[in-house]
Structures are given as structure tokens and as C-alpha cells.
Amino acid sequence: MSEPTTPSVPPTPPVPLSALLAREDLGLRQIAGPPAPDTVIHWAHTSEMADPYPYLLGGELLLTAGVHVPEAAGAGAYFDDYVSRIVAAGGAALGFGLAPVHDTVPRALVAACDAYGLPLLEVPPRTTFSGVARAVWQLMAQARLAELRRVTEAQQSLAAAASRPDPVPSVLRQLAQRLSAQALLHGPDGTVIASAGRAPVPGTQEALRKLTGVVRPGTARDAPASATDSLGEIQLAAYALGGSSGFVLGVATGRREPADHTIASVAAVLLSLLTGEHQSGAGAARSSALVRLLLGAAPAEVAALLGGTDDAGWLVVHARPENGTPDPVGAAALGTALGSPLVDLDRDVVRVLVPAGREPAAQPGWTLGVGAPAGPADWPSADAQAARALARARATRTPLVRHGARPGLSELVPRADAEEHARALLAPLAAGPALTETLRTWLSLHGSWDRTAVALDVHRNTVRQRITRCAALLDTDLDDPDVRMELWFALRNN
């Protein structure tokens, strides 16, 4: 089994280790490693494996009672190897339970944790591992609730500010207050049109002005929709408003909290509306395109009205928030971050049609799948590609996955022949679309039951049942690599 080069932590709010140590009902005590305030954990995991590396995602508080420890461990390099593997996997801390196996924490384990910088907690006999895990999830739930409450309150206050007689200054004031920041609105020529809040340190305004040049349309061919930088300990961010309008929002904060980007994105959406699409006529053009589509025009005939530059100048993006389900404000904020107002909120997925020159980048708090560049006639195919890329991104906990478009075996076989072969081979699965999609996802994820379950939002037992059913209907051995290769080729042409 191949080992990942970098750990990926679960998409959960981090919990300070100090908050867990403060729980008097647990009675945990840190006896080695760096100070607790500098450590955060993403979940708790129990394992008695001598090598827990393959079972860790990163960011865990690993709990063990030392069942795996051999009697002569204190005299050799056992604990050194054990701790080094936890650190290599990205483990955040280790909890060692006293009783029923050990009365004290082995000294060699304490020394190894100090050597590798891994916080070591002593778990008293009265505290169960399930109790520690429950406490971690309780703290995570509290953190998530506080974050959602902060975002909701900020959305409400920003929306109220946008309805006032002086909406732009009011939105900036609310944003500066909510983030304890300085907020600046820059015009197309880079001058400051409105501002709110105090500069955290001298030179902040000039640093923001330079950063806004990175996202302003026209300053670079592939200018991003947002950008971040720092000035010492001050965190800087810039958001392009209204696509090609040239207005940019600059924000400077003393420290960056997890919800800050979402709140600033909401303000950017409101300011985009307030600075006015009427300046470019883009809103009218999109309305005209929508009316023509509803009246029967082909997508290729109206693509120019949507801002595309050529027949291959579009990307379809599928996105899901890491926590919860998307809402209209969050979807609009994502569209602004990606540089496109063409946003569709479809249940738990946000779809964005991004024109040429706006290469999507990973967005904090979101998981993205991107289809291959496509013209209007190929939008449905690109939509399916983006959906599969999003499923793979969620399964592998990757912020952004792009559909692979490099030539392969399909280029060597005439398209009609490949499609006929695919229909014949996959005919036994034709009556069950769920079986076909499960087989496609399972093969794309190298036969991983857990990752396929995550990608399809089903239980891992459901995946096993479907794959077993596929093997029976196809009358073949899915463990055979040749069979897998042929099926994958057929699925790519189906």
C-alpha cells in the first residue's frame, strides 16, 4: 500500500488541546511534548496497532492502552519507531491509558514524544476512551455552532447595512466591525473610494493597494478573483467585485479566523451589487441570454452574451461546502470568488459556469470539482465531468480536483467502435444506473470501499453489495487487473 506524502485532516473545526485538558471530568494530564495551546486536534481515534500509520488521516488524538507494547520495549527502539510513525502520519497528540495493561506511562514513550515534539497525555483509569472521543466531538460541535452563529449574524447585519441610505459605507463599517479590521473599497483606477476601521499598522493601506492590483481585471491575463498576503502579523485579503467592473474590496485583519473569508465574501457580493452591474451592462446581457434560451435558442447562439470568448472558453465547476449544506448567500459568494455570476444552487451542490481567463482555484471551506474546458455544445458532458471530479475530491479530501483530459487508449480506437464495445460489455448493468455509477466510482478510487462510500454518500456495505452484484451480473472477477482495465475503458466510453 502506498503511503501519502502529506497528511490530510478531516473537514472538521479544530479543537485546541488545551480545551480538552481543561475538562475536569476527563482528568487528562499532559506529560510530554510542546505546550497544549499550540496544538489543535481534529478528532479522536483509538488503535492498538503497533504501526497506526495506515489508519491515520492526520490531526488525530490517538488513544492507546499500550496493548501492542512488547515486554522489552523499554530497552530498544520500539517507542522511537512508534512515535515517529504517528508524527509522519500527521497525528496531533497521543493519549496513553493507564490500566488494565500499564500502571504508568513508559518512560521510553515519554522520552520519544519529547524528542519528536508529540504531545503525550496521561489518561487516568476512570476515564474511558469513548468518553474522551465524546468530549472531542462536543467541543467540535460547540466550535461549529459558534462559527455558524458568527457567520449568520454577520450576514444579517451586512444585509441590513446594504438597505440603508448610504449602503456602501454602511457595509464597509459592518465588515470592519465584524472582523475587527480595516476595510477599503478601491475603484477601477486603484484609488480608495470608501473606507472603514483603523489601519492595524502603518503601511497597511499601501500594502492593500498593491494586493488589489493582483485581482483587478486587466492587470493580468489570468487575474484571480481573490488574493491574500501578509504584512508582518497582519493578514491582508483582496476581492474583485462585479467581474470586470474593476472595483476591489481590501481587508486587513490582526488575525485570520476560519469564518473571516466567508463573511468578507458576503460583503463582496453585496458590494458587487451596490457598485452596480449597470456600469458594464453584463446583467442585461445575461437576462437576454436567459430569455433566448427559454424561447428555444441553442446554447452556442447565446454564449457570447454570457461573456465567453470562444467555443472552448468555459469551465463547469461543482462545489460543496465542507460543513453543512450551501445557501444562496454562500453560493453567490463562491461565484464571486471564482469570478463568475453564473451560479446555480442545486440542493447540496453549487454549480458555477466560469468563462475563459478565470482558472478556478481552491476556495477555503469548499470542495471543488472542475470539468475540462468545453464549448456550449459540450456543457452537459463537462457538467458530468465536474460532478465526478467533485466526488473524487470529497473521497480523497482534496480541496480541488480537475478532470483529466490527456489522451489515452480511447484515442487509438474509433469512437463508434469504442461505444459499441462499451454498450455490449456493460449491457448487464443497463437496468441499474446506480450499479454503473458505483462501479465507475469504485474503479476510479482503486477499489476503496470507504472512499467510494464517501463519494456516493452511501454506506460502505451498500458499496460492497453493489460491487458484488456487478461482478455477478458481468460474470467476471473484479479483482483481476485486466478485467478492471477493460471495464474502465468501457465506462469511459459509455
For residues 434-454, one letter each, b for 16 or more C-beta atoms within 10 angstroms of the residue's C-beta and e for the rest, the string is ebbbbbbbbbbbeebbebbbb
Q: Quote the mean pLDDT of the chain.
A: 83
State what percent of residues in the chain have pLDDT above 90.
27
Reported as a single tens digit per residue, the pLDDT across 382-431 is 888 888 889 888 878 888 988 875 545 555 566 677 778 878 888 888 88
| pLDDT given for residue 2 in this prediction | 37
pLDDT tops 50 at residue 51: yes
Write down the CATH superfamily of domain 164-277.
Answer: Dynein light chain 2a, cytoplasmic (3.30.450.30)
Highest mean pLDDT among 61-70, 351-360, 469-478: 61-70
Q: What is the pLDDT of residue 12?
A: 63
Q: Which pLDDT tens digit goes with each residue over 250-282?
A: 999 987 777 888 899 889 888 888 776 444 455
Query: 126: which residues sit within 8 A by CB, 6+ positions away?
Result: 27
Write down the pLDDT at residue 334.
Answer: 78
When pLDDT is averaged across residues 170-191 and rounded to a whole number, the result is 89
Specify the pLDDT at position 106.
Answer: 93
Residues 29-50, mean pLDDT to the nearest whole number: 90
Check pLDDT > 80 for residue 1.
no
Count the neighbouring beta carbons within 10 Å of the beta carbon of residue 120: 20
- Going by C-alpha positions, the residue among 39, 30, 47 that lies closest to residue 110 is 30
Name, of 43-57, 181-195, 288-302, 308-322, the range with top average pLDDT. Answer: 43-57
pLDDT tens-digit series, residues 221-235: 566 788 888 888 888
> SS3 sequence, the chain?
CCCCCCCCCCCCCCEEHHHHHCCCCCCCEEEECCCHHHCEECEEEECCCCCCHHHCCCCEEEEECCCCCCCCHHHCCHHHHHHHHHHHCCCCEEEEECCCCCCCCCHHHHHHHHHHCCCEEEECCCCCHHHHHHHHHHHHHHHHHHHHHHHHHHHHHHHHHHCCCCHHHHHHHHHHHHHCEEEEEECCCCCEEEEECCCCCCCHHHHHHHHHHHHCCCCCCCCCCEEEEEECCEEEEEEECCCCCCCEEEEEECCCCCCHHHHHHHHHHHHHHHHCHHHCCHHHHHHHHHHHHHCCCCHHHHHHHHCCCCCCCEEEEEEEECCCCCCHHHHHHHHHHHCCCCEEEECCEEEEEEECCCCCCCCCCEEEEECCCECHHHHHHHHHHHHHHHHHHHHHCCCEEECCCCCCHHHHCCHHHHHHHHHHHHHHHCCCHHHHHHHHHHHHCCCCHHHHHHHHCCCHHHHHHHHHHHHHHHCCCCCCHHHHHHHHHHHHCC
pLDDT, position 410: 55
pLDDT at 95: 96
Residue 119 C-alpha from the chain's centroid = 27
Question: Which range has highest mean pLDDT (83-97, 251-265, 314-328, 423-437)?
Answer: 83-97
Q: What's residue 278's pLDDT?
A: 41
Dist CA 175 CA 266 (whole Å): 9
Domain ranges of the chain: 15-138, 164-277, 314-402, 409-492
- What pLDDT does residue 243 have? 59
Q: Which fold has domain 15-138?
A: 3.40.1390
CATH number of the domain at 409-492, out of 1.10.3720.10, 1.20.120.640, 3.90.1300.10, 1.10.10.2840?
1.10.10.2840
Task: Dump pLDDT digits (tens) for 2-20.
Answer: 343 444 444 567 889 999 9
Instruction: Give the pLDDT confidence score for residue 276 in this predicted structure.
Output: 61
